[in-house]
């Protein structure tokens, strides 16, 4: 069993557990995003591209694609809102599983994605748009939960932001401090390692997701859902046993 597994999603957290969870979620996001492209022909974590596409289609007069892009954006937004509702409700109820609940929802959405995918050949015209909306919702849920946990320090579906932050730190690293008496510019190697890890695992997850969908089809979502279930079930069991959270 992985070390400190319960702590990955428990309410009582450490920076190391935040990083462990963020790294795993970056892998899941990369796999889901790349696999989703092969499955439905669209990336679903890239809201910048979706908003830009909506503007392009509006100018070109393609109302159908504008509506699809808007629905995708709305689904991502609703996913993030759902995480906020679940986390705040869990806080009010003093649950151990505050952060597990959105991940369990994401695991269920991945399994539902697999079930929908198994039926795509039967009703592609209807189920492809539904599946796109489901994946956008799932990405919104995931990005919001790690953002809440890490207080917006870690993102798992927003690689543009990660690369921007890495570029800022690299700029600090190569900066030449020549003025004595002025606080020097220093790069945070810890942040660079974190950003590099998340970017790398998103990329590795993308490779795994693409290969999985090529070789196994929609059943490739099952290992991803099991990963989320593995890190989420212990706090839920603690709540079912009604173990109270100590008051501070």
CA dihedral in degrees (230, 137, 204, 145; nearest 10)? -60
pLDDT digits (tens, 9 = 90+) for 193-228: 999 999 999 999 999 999 998 888 888 888 999 999
CATH code of 153's domain: 1.20.1250
pLDDT digits (tens, 9 = 90+) for 8-20: 887 777 888 888 8
pLDDT for the residue numbered 1: 44
Which domain range does residue 119 map to?
Answer: 6-177+184-237
pLDDT for the residue numbered 247: 55
Between 49 and 202, residue with greater pLDDT: 202
Taking CA atoms, 72 is separated from 67, 83, 104, 154, in Å, by: 9, 17, 21, 23
pLDDT greater than 70 at residue 126: no
Residues 6+ apart with CB under 8 A from 8: 2, 17, 20, 21, 24, 231
Please check whether residue 36 lies inside any domain of the structure: yes
pLDDT digits (tens, 9 = 90+) for 138-172: 989 998 988 888 777 777 777 888 899 999 999 99
pLDDT band at 188 (very low <50, low <70, confident <90, very high): very high
- Compute the average pLDDT of residues 47-68: 89
Mean pLDDT, rounded, of the chain: 85
Please check whether residue 205 lies inside any domain of the structure: yes
Report the predicted TM-score, pTM, of the whole model to 2 decimal places. Answer: 0.85
Please check whether residue 65 lies inside any domain of the structure: yes
Domain count of the fold of the chain:
1
**φ and ψ of 75, to 5 deg:** -65, -40
Please check whether residue 164 lies inside any domain of the structure: yes
Please check whether residue 1 lies inside any domain of the structure: no
pLDDT greater than 60 at residue 3: no
CA–CA separation, 77 vs 150, rounded Å? 19
Identify the H or E element spanning 31.
helix 15-40
pLDDT for the residue numbered 38: 79
Residue 244 three-state SS: coil
Please check whether residue 134 lies inside any domain of the structure: yes
Number of other residues whose CB lies within 10 A of the CB of residue 171: 11
CA–CA separation, 211 vs 196, rounded Å? 23
Please check whether residue 243 lies inside any domain of the structure: no
Please check whether residue 248 lies inside any domain of the structure: no
């Amino acid at each position: 069993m992985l070390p400190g597994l319960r702590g990955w999603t428990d309410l009582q957290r450490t920076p190391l557990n935040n990083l462990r969870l963020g790294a795993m979620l970056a892998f899941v996001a990369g796999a889901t995003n790349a696999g989703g492209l092969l499955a439905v022909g669209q990336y679903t974590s890239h809201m910048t591209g979706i908003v830009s596409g909506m503007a392009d289609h509006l100018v070109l007069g393609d109302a159908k694609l504008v509506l699809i892009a808007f629905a995708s954006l709305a689904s991502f937004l609703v996913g993030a809102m759902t995480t906020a509702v679940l986390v705040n409700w869990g806080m009010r109820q003093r649950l151990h599983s505050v952060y597990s609940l959105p991940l369990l929802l994401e695991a269920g959405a991945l399994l539902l994605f697999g079930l929908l995918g198994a039926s795509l050949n039967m009703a592609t015209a209807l189920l492809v748009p539904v599946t796109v909306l489901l994946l956008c919702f799932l990405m919104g849920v995931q990005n919001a939960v790690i953002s809440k946990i890490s207080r917006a320090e870690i993102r798992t579906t927003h690689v543009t932001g990660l690369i921007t932050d890495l570029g800022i730190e690299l700029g600090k690293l190569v900066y030449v401090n020549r003025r004595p008496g002025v606080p020097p510019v220093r790069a945070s190697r810890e942040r660079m390692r974190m950003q590099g890890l998340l970017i790398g695992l998103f990329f590795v997850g993308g490779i795994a997701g693409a290969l999985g969908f090529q070789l196994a089809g929609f059943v490739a979502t099952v290992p991803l859902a099991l990963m989320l279930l593995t890190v989420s079930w212990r706090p839920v069991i603690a709540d079912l046993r009604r173990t109270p959270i100590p008051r501070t």
